[in-house]
Amino acid sequence: MMSRLRPLRSKARAAGMVALLLAAGALAGCSSTIDTVDKGIDMIPTAAGGLPSNAPQRAATPPQYPAVNEMPQRREALPLTDDELNRTKSELTTLRNKQEEMAGTAPKPAAAPEKKQADAAKGAAKGPKKPKQPTELSSAKDQGK
């Protein structure tokens, strides 16, 4: 019984391969005409789906692609030295502080260290804090006892 089905499978496989090759050939044939389609689409009437009458004319020469593999030109400016970097940072900091003062959003100054020391002395005078006794969680079984 198997010997009868084997020739049918090979014929079906061969027919599938032929169909695949024909489709690939047709697709390759269509791709070679894309350039002529771009030029020919201008001749299709607007009512049939062509370009509208107010569309701009195509350029006589196609635009060039950017050179992506070329190295960029060397920069003439050198990196900042440490002195220049520190000076720039300080200038930017002073400008930021001036703008914050003008806008009224200047950060509040930090608390004075004397006040912190006074708070610490006050806490020491009260005595150490008593630790809270841990509460035990009981399950529903424990509550019934």
The 10s digit of each residue's pLDDT in 111-120 is 666 666 666 6
Residue 88: which pLDDT band, with cuts at 50, 70 and 90?
very high
**89 pLDDT above the threshold of 70:** yes
The 10s digit of each residue's pLDDT in 25-61 is 877 766 655 555 556 666 777 787 777 888 888 778 8
Compute the distance between CA of residue 136 and CA of residue 56 in angstroms, rounded to an integer.
Answer: 83
Burial of 6 (0-12, 13-18, 19+ CB in 10 A): exposed
Looking at residue 98, its amino acid is K
Average confidence score pLDDT of the chain? 75
Compute the distance between CA of residue 73 and CA of residue 70 in angstroms, rounded to an integer.
Answer: 9
Domain spans, the chain = 9-43
Q: What is the pTM of this model?
A: 0.27
One-character DSSP codes across 25-37:
HHHHHHHTTHHHH
